[in-house]
Amino acid sequence: MEETVDSIDSDLGHADKKVKLTKSTIAMIERKRQNAILLRESRLQCRVTAVSSSSNSDSKASCKPSKNKIVICSKDSSDLTNLLSSVNCRECNIHCNASYLYEKFGENVCDECRAKDKDQFKLMSKTDAKNEFVLKDCDLDLREPLLKFSTAPNPHNQRAGFMKLYLLGQVYERACEVHGGDEGIDKAILQRSKNREVLAQQKMNKKLKELRKNSKPRQMKKAHVHEYGKEVYDEDNDEYSHCCKSCHYTETYEKL
């Protein structure tokens, strides 16, 4: 039987009841969280680098119309420069405009770096994202800014159509926004576990109540008491006997 440890007692509802999580589950959650944090920090560092480089460019460029030339206003010149400029991988600093993560999720990571660290740049299905980070459909599909995703056939059910795949680091950032950081995520996980235990207990109580209601009470069988008839004497064997009136049991005995 797998060893379990007591989780932190949450201040939310049912505070008197503790939830037990296995060590393997806690280790898996912590490993995925650390990978997501690394991805988040690298994304933030990339954003700071992009902002610093764009701030050094001349934002006061003039805009003069010409008949045979494209008119570029100073307000959009920096955006156009970013589109035309080469995007480098934040891990190895090589060109990554055509990489999978950049095209699908806007992450400056080349395909080689993604292959080297599959755990950090892991993709997860919508169901896993909701279960591991206690998120709702609206948190993934409606909350601004909308999370980017890719699609892939469902390996478990081909008739179910395509499933959505999200980037682990981006899902972790969304969970921090929804729950207010790591502590909020931990509390949400513990509260969900407690709610599941309460619902399971209520379901069990309901089943027991239905069984008691539908089951017939047992009738206790009364012990049989012989009711003997007339006594008969056997001269040849010098024995007496009498027979039960209901079960026809015959008892033979001698008299002194």
pLDDT in tens, the chain (256 residues): 344 444 444 444 444 444 566 766 777 777 777 777 777 776 666 665 555 555 554 444 433 443 433 333 333 444 444 445 678 998 898 888 889 999 999 999 999 999 988 888 999 999 999 999 999 999 999 999 999 999 998 888 878 788 999 999 999 999 999 999 999 999 999 999 999 999 999 999 999 888 888 877 667 777 888 888 888 888 888 888 889 888 888 888 887 7
Question: 197-219: per-residue pLDDT in tens?
Answer: 999 999 999 998 888 888 776 67
| pLDDT of the residue at 48 | 57
Q: What is the pLDDT of residue 17?
A: 46
Count of CA atoms in the C-beta half-sphere (13 A) of 180:
4
* DSSP string for residues in 87-146: PBPTTT--B-TT-HHHHHH-----HHHHHH-TTTT-EEEHHHHHHHHT--HHHHHTSSSP
Which pLDDT does position 248 carry in this prediction? Answer: 84
Contacts of 188 (CB under 8 A, 6+ apart): 134, 179
* Residue 230 in tokens: 């007339």
User: Residue 83 and residue 50: Cα distance in Å, rounded?
Assistant: 12
Q: What are phi and psi of 163, to 5 degrees?
A: -110, 155
User: Given this model, what pLDDT does residue 147 score?
Assistant: 93
Query: For position 22, what pLDDT does the model report?
Result: 74
Place of tokens 């660290």: 117
Which of 164, 145, 144 has its CA nearest to residue 154? 164
DSSP state for residue 231 in the 8-state scheme = -
Residue 143 has what pLDDT? 92
Would you state the pLDDT for residue 76?
A: 44
